[in-house]
Structure 1
Amino acid sequence: MTSPVWHPFTQHGLGEPIPQIVSASGAWLTCDDGHRLLDGISSWWVITHGHCEPRIAAAITAQASTLDQMIFAGYTHPQAEALARSLVALTPPGLDHVFFSDSGSTAVEVALKMALGHWHNRGEARHRLLVIEHSYHGDTIGTMSVGERGVFNRAYAPLLFDVETVPFPAQGQVQASLDALERLCRTGEKPAAFIVEPLVLGAGGMLFYPPETLRAFAEICAQHDVLFIVDEVMTGWGRTGTLFACEQAGVAPDILCLAKGLTGGAVPLAATLASAAIFESHRSMDRATMFFHSSSFTANPVCCAAANANLAIWRDEDVPGRIAALGLALDEGLATLAGLGRLHNPRRIGAIAAIDMVVPDGGYLSDVAPRLRAHALAQGLLLRPLGNTIYLMPPYCTTPAEIAQAFSVIADAVDTRPNWHTR
C-alpha cells in the first residue's frame, strides 16, 4: 500500500525507496528489515552525543510524567528557567535574554523580527537586511528571504522580501567581501542587521571561511551600529570544534540563534538569545511594543528537560575530547580520498569533513548525489551529499573504525563508478 506520508526534500515521482527506521543507538540506525545504517550525517545535523543517549532519554521520560506542556505566554516552569540561565552563562557575553521556539527556521525568524522590532520601537527607519552569498537559514518565508535564491525557493519568489548580499569570503576574495559589507553599511538607509552562518555555510556546500573574517564582519557591524546576527543552528554544540563557532573569532553577536543540537538532537527546541538593548527596546508600559511572536509549544517542558540533560553532559563529560578524536579520524579518512582523481578540495573543521566531486554539473540537483546516496544506503551508510559535495558530520560517539568504514564506502563509490557523471 502506498504511504500517505509526504517527505521533505523528496521527489516522490522518482519512486526511490524510502527505508523505514525502527530503532537507533549510538551512531547506528536499524531498518525494519534488520539492515543497519551508520549515521554519517547525524540524522540531518541534529544528533550530537549519539542516538537514544541514556541521560537525555531519562530526562525526557521523567519530565513527560510530571509536566508535559503548558502555555508560556505569561507563565513559566523550572526547566525553562534553568535552561535560560545556563544558556546565558554558556554563550558569549552580552546575550542576556532567551526567547524559546521550536526549530532552526523559527529561531532565525525570531531573530529577524527582533532586529526589525528593535529599530521600529526606537523610532528609527531601518528595514534593510544584509546576508552572505550562498547562505541558508531555513525554509520559512523570512528565512528563505535571507537565504540564497534558487531552486529551493524559486516557486515562492512572490512571497519573499528583498535583501542585499555580501559576496562569500572565499580564499583570495576576503577583502572584497569585507569591502562590500562596509559599502552596504555606509550607503543609503542604515541596515537593520547582517545575518551570518559562522565559519561554515552548510547547505550552500559546506563552504568554510576563517575566524578572522567572522571577527572582521562583526567589527564592521559594530562600527556602523548594525545588529550582528549569528545563526549557530548547525554550527553550535561542538560541530566546528568549539561549543559555538563564534568563540573561535572572539565574537559576541547582538543576536544568536540555536537549535538542532540544543537537546542533543533528541527532540525539537530552539532558542534565540538577544542583548539587553534589544530586550529593553521591546519593554515598556505600552503593550503595543511587546514582542509579537509565539508558537503553541514555546519552551515545552519535555524539550527543555532534554536540553538541560544535554548541557549536563557538556559539563560532566569530555565532549571536546571526543570531538578532537573524531576530527583526527576524519582527517585520516579525507587523506584516503586525496588520491582519487575525481575528488578535490578536502576540508575539515571540528566534526565536519567535506570533499567535492568533479562533475560537469555540480549543482544541488546533480544526479551524482542520489546515486551516491543509494550506493551508501546499500553499503550500510546514511549519507546525503549536497550536489557534488560529499560530507560527513557524524555523532560524537562514532569510533575511528566506523569513520574508516564510512570513508571506505565513499571511496568504493567514487573509485568503481567512473561514469556517474553521465546519465
Structure 2
Amino acid sequence: MTDNASLVARDLAALWHPCTQMKDHEWLPLVPVKRGKGVWLEDFDGNRYIDAISSWWVNLFGHANPRINAALRDQMESLEHVILAGFSHEPAVELAEKLVEVTPAGLSRCFYADNGSAAVEVAVKMSYHYWRNLRRPEKKRFITLANSYHGETLGALAVGNVALYKETYGPLLMETLAAPTPDCFEREEGESWEAYSRRQFEPMRKLIARHHQEVSAVILEPLVQCAGGMRMYHPVYLELLREACDEYDIHLIADEIAVGFGRTGTLFACEQANITPDFMCLSKGLTAGYLPLSAVMTTEKIYQAFYDEYDNLTAFLHSHSYTGNPLACRVALETLKIFEDDQIIVRNRELAEHAARAFAPLADHPHVREVRQHGMILAAEMMKDPKRREPFPWHERRGLKVYQHGLANEVLMRPLGHVFYFMPPYVITESQIDHVAKMALEGIDLATRD
C-alpha cells in the first residue's frame, strides 16, 4: 500500500524536480499528492492542504472540477489528437473563435502552442518574421522590462530579465534592451501608483525613441510581474506604451500567461488600460490547470504579412507535435463557458475585496514593507527593515519558513523568496481565505524572528 514515505523514496530515486535544489530534500520533505478536490490537495497519509497558489497559478475552478471532467471524458471518446498541419477539428476551431470573441478587439487570429514559454517564443519569432517579410530585417531587437520573466526556453529567457538566469545562461541568449520596471514598490513616500508609473515610463520612451529603427517589439507582463516577486504597477503605463509603440512603429507583446483569465479583476489585464496589443500570449488558466496548452492572439495585419504564394517562402515557421490538441482545446472551451455561466469576474471581485480585508493585518507587521493587490493576486513583501527598505539576505530563505508553517496547518503557500503571495482557485470560500490569511500572518511572524 502506498504511503507518503514509500512514494517519496521512489520519487527521489528517479525524478528530477523543476525549480529545485534536489539536495534540499535530504531535510525538506516532499509532499506526495494522492488526490485533489476543489481547493484541497490530499496526501497519502490523509493530510490535506488548501492550494493557495493554484498549483503554480494554473488552477482556476478547483481540482477535479465536475464540469471540466465531463467535457474531457466526452472529448476522449471521439478524438484525442490529430495533426493540425493540413487537418483541423472542431475543438480547435471553436476555441479560436471564442478567444477572438473574448480577447481585446482587433485580435482576430489564434496560433496554438503547448505552454507559456512556447507562446512567448511564437510571439517573438512572429514579430521578427513580420518585419523580415516586410523587408525590414534590421528590426530584430526586443525591449523588455527589468525584473521581467517570460519563461525558461532560450528565447523566452532572453526577453526576460531575471539576473540569476542571465548570469547562468547568458552566453546562450540573444541580447535585448532593458527599460526600468514601472513596479510601484519603488515609489516615493506619498507618491501614487499612477504618478510613479507615469514617471517610470519616461526611460522607456527614451529607449524606444533611440532604438526604434532596430526594435521589433516591446514585451511585458501587464500589471503584475509575477515571478519577479508579484511586483505591480498602474494601467496607465500600458496606455502610454501602446501610444509609443504606435508612434514609433514597433509591436507590443502582452504576456498574459499568468495574469490573464480573471487574475487581475478583469478577464485580461490589458482591458484595464483599454488597449489591444499586437500579440497576446495566453496559457496557464486557459485550461484551468488540466492540460498544457497556449495560444498567441494577433491581428489581421500581422497575419496578412505571412499570407502569400508558397514560392515566396514567407510562411511562419513554428510547429509542435501537440499543437491544438483536441483534449486541451475542449477543456479550454469548458473553462470559458464556466466564466460566462457562473459570472466568475463578478464573484472574483467580491472574493478580492474579502481577501483585502483578511490580509490587511499583514500591513501592520514590523517586517512587512507592503501589501499589494491586483484583483485575485495579493502579495506581502517581508523586509529586515521596512523603513529603510533593507531586505533580508537572500540566503536566509525566510519564505521557506512561511511555506513550512503553511504545510503544518493545511495550507500550500510557496513564497517567491521573501515575498508571500496569494493566488487561489476561484472556488475558494471566504472562510478558507480567512484561514490562509491567519496562517500567512503566523508564518511571516515566525519567519522574521531573529
Normalising by the smaller structure, the TM-score range is over 0.9
Shift of 1:181: 2.1
CA distance in 2, matches of 1:177, 1:113: 28
Q: How many residues align?
A: 420
Q: Which residue of structure 1 lines up, in the alignment, with residue 205 of structure 2?
A: 182
Identity of aligned residues (%): 37
Please give the per-residue CA displacement for 1:334-363, whole angstroms capped at 9, x wherever unaligned: 212222211121111110111111136547
Q: Which residue of structure 1 lines up, in the alignment, with residue 302 of structure 2?
A: 278
Letter in 1 for 2:200: S
Secondary structure of 2:164's aligned partner: coil
Are residues 295 and 394 of structure 1, via their aligned partners in 2, closer, same or farther at CA, if it must alter by over 3 Å? same
Matched, 1:230 2:254: yes
Q: Which residue of structure 1 lines up, in the alignment, with residue 191 of structure 2?
A: none
Matched, 1:74 2:86: yes
Q: TM-score, normalised by structure 1?
A: 0.96
CA distance in 2, matches of 1:317, 1:132: 36
Q: TM-score, normalised by structure 2?
A: 0.90
Which among 323, 347, 351 is matched to residue 326 of structure 1? 351
Larger proportion of helix: 2
Q: Do 1:181 and 1:220's aligned partners in 2 also have CA atoms closer than 8 Å?
A: no
Q: Which residue of structure 2 lines up, in the alignment, with residue 382 of structure 1?
A: 412
CA distance in 2, matches of 1:417, 1:145: 34
Secondary structure of 1:279's aligned partner: helix
Matched, 1:248 2:275: no
Shift of 1:204: 0.7
Shift of 1:332: 1.3
CA distance in 1, matches of 2:98, 2:18: 33
Which among 59, 64, 75 is matched to residue 52 of structure 1? 64
Q: What 5-or-longer segments of structure 1 have no aligned partner?
A: none
Matches within 5 A, 1:15-164: 15=26, 16-124=28-136, 125-164=138-177
Are residues 416 and 368 of structure 1, via their aligned partners in 2, closer, same or farther at CA, if it must alter by over 3 Å? closer
Q: What 5-or-longer segments of structure 2 have no aligned partner?
A: 1-8, 188-194, 385-389
Q: Which residue of structure 1 lines up, in the alignment, with residue 244 of structure 2?
A: 220
Q: Which runs of 4+ in 1 moved over 6 A?
A: none
Matched, 1:350 2:375: yes
CA distance in 2, matches of 1:365, 1:243: 37
Are residues 185 and 383 of structure 1, via their aligned partners in 2, closer, same or farther at CA, if it must alter by over 3 Å? same
Are residues 176 and 212 of structure 1, via their aligned partners in 2, closer, same or farther at CA, if it must alter by over 3 Å? closer
Please give the per-residue CA displacement for 1:17-70, whole angstroms capped at 9, x wherever unaligned: 111111111111011111000001001000111111111111111111210011
Which among 423, 429, 446 is matched to residue 393 of structure 1? 423
Letter in 1 for 2:133: N
Q: Do 2:382 and 2:391's aligned partners in 1 also have CA atoms closer than 8 Å?
A: no
Q: Do 1:240 and 1:351's aligned partners in 2 also have CA atoms closer than 8 Å?
A: yes
Matched, 1:307 2:337: no
Shift of 1:365: 5.2
Q: Which residue of structure 1 lines up, in the alignment, with residue 387 of structure 2?
A: none
Q: Do 1:198 and 1:245's aligned partners in 2 also have CA atoms closer than 8 Å?
A: yes
CA distance in 1, matches of 2:170, 2:77: 45
CA distance in 1, matches of 2:314, 2:118: 20
Q: Is 323-332 or 151-160 further displaced after alignment?
A: 151-160
Matched, 1:13 2:23: yes
Are residues 342 and 296 of structure 1, via their aligned partners in 2, closer, same or farther at CA, if it must alter by over 3 Å? same
Letter in 1 for 2:330: A
Q: Is 259-268 or 113-122 further displaced after alignment?
A: 259-268
Please give the per-residue CA displacement for 1:172-210, whole angstroms capped at 9, x wherever unaligned: 643443222222222243411001100111011111111
Which among 272, 281, 284 is matched to residue 260 of structure 1? 284
Q: Is 26-35 or 149-158 further displaced after alignment?
A: 149-158
Q: Which residue of structure 1 lines up, in the alignment, with residue 222 of structure 2?
A: 198
Q: Which residue of structure 1 lines up, in the alignment, with residue 403 of structure 2?
A: 373
Please give the per-residue CA displacement for 1:227-280, whole angstroms capped at 9, x wherever unaligned: 011000001000001000000100111110000011112111100011111111
CA RMSD of aligned residues (A): 1.5
Secondary structure of 1:282's aligned partner: coil
Letter in 2 for 1:315: E
Secondary structure of 1:405's aligned partner: helix
Q: Do 1:236 and 1:245's aligned partners in 2 also have CA atoms closer than 8 Å?
A: yes
CA distance in 2, matches of 1:313, 1:242: 15
Q: Do 1:166 and 1:177's aligned partners in 2 also have CA atoms closer than 8 Å?
A: no
Shift of 1:378: 1.4
Q: Do 1:130 and 1:195's aligned partners in 2 also have CA atoms closer than 8 Å?
A: yes
Letter in 2 for 1:11: Q
Secondary structure of 1:105's aligned partner: helix
CA distance in 1, matches of 2:294, 2:432: 30
